[in-house]
Amino acid sequence: MRGDDRQAYDRGSNIFSPDGRLYQVEYAREAVKRGSASVGVRVEEGVVLAATRRVRSPLLEPRSVEKLHAIDEHHGVASAGHVADARQLVDVARRSAQIERLRYGQPIATEELTTEVSRHIQEYTQSGGARPFGAALLVGGFVEGEARLFETDPSGTPYEWRATAIGGGSDGIRERLKERYDPEMGLDDAVALARDVLSEEDDVEEEFIAVAVIDDDGYRAVDGAAGADSDAE
């Protein structure tokens, strides 16, 4: 009696199936889709990152659910998927930014930062005894007057976007972004767009949506109710 032949490939993150698939990477992508959604919108003035905080209990403080992370004053990250995996990748990004600053005395370029994180992710798709990261990131940056927005996925492949979404319901959110995104819009309009497409997906209340902006003034959180800068960490 033979078991399911696919199980052998399921258990190995560095073993290709006969049809050229890495099942562990595909499962990691499914883990991202089961996470709450995050959105990134790039405009000329900067980048907006927004994320839904999934609160599983009324006793849980929504602000304790971290989906947005400052990397340095020029970069921020929004995550979807396993929170612990995302935190490890955020640490990789922060170290890369610090090394660039200490070595060259200048901020790391957003594309280079994304490449460093993607390289780290990709190593876990070909190493024995390790599993791929079950998290995806949106990396936004504003360096030398230029706004950039990238996505990393569990395969270690980076993509650059004008506007996109990751996590649960991302396909529907991207469709709404495609209909409403305007590259000429201002930063305030981009913040409103990010909030709208997230709230429409799962009818999320405003307090459960975290928003951050990266522009010429650096990375900062945005208050949900008033739309003003927040003093919260």
Buried b (16+ CB within 10 A) or exposed e, 130-165: eebbbbbbbbbbbbeeebbbbbbbbbbebeebebbb
The answer as to whether 229 is a domain residue is no
The answer as to whether 232 is a domain residue is no
The whole domain housing 187 covers 24-222
pLDDT of residue 232: 31
d(CA 219, CA 229): 10
Tell me the average pLDDT across 176-190: 96
- Asked whether the predicted pLDDT for residue 35 surpasses 50, the reply is yes
Mean per-residue pLDDT of the chain: 88
pLDDT of residue 130: 84
pLDDT of residue 230: 39
pLDDT of residue 72: 97
Buried b (16+ CB within 10 A) or exposed e, 100-116: beeeeeebbbbeebbbb
Number of domains in the chain: 1
Q: Which pairing describes strands 135-143 and 146-152: parallel, antiparallel, or unpaired?
A: antiparallel
- Asked whether the predicted pLDDT for residue 227 surpasses 70, the reply is no
- Asked whether the predicted pLDDT for residue 15 surpasses 90, the reply is no
The answer as to whether 231 is a domain residue is no
pLDDT of residue 224: 52
How does pLDDT run across 143-159, given as a tens digit for each residue? 999 999 999 999 999 99
pLDDT of residue 2: 47
Q: Which residues pair with 141 in a beta bridge?
A: 75, 148
pLDDT of residue 87: 95
- Asked whether the predicted pLDDT for residue 1 surpasses 90, the reply is no
pLDDT of residue 9: 72
Contact 166, 36 (CB under 8 A): no
pLDDT of residue 184: 95
We report the CATH number of the domain holding residue 197 as: 3.60.20.10
The answer as to whether 208 is a domain residue is yes
The answer as to whether 157 is a domain residue is yes
d(CA 72, CA 99): 12
The answer as to whether 228 is a domain residue is no
For a pLDDT cut of 70, what percent of the chain falls above it? 88
Does the pTM surpass 0.85? The reply is: yes
Contact 41, 177 (CB under 8 A): yes
How does pLDDT run across 188-202, given as a tens digit for each residue? 999 999 999 999 876
The answer as to whether 4 is a domain residue is no
How does pLDDT run across 70-128, given as a tens digit for each residue? 999 999 999 999 999 999 999 999 999 999 999 999 999 999 999 999 999 999 998 77
What's the N-to-C CA distance of the chain in angstroms? Answer: 58
The answer as to whether 79 is a domain residue is yes
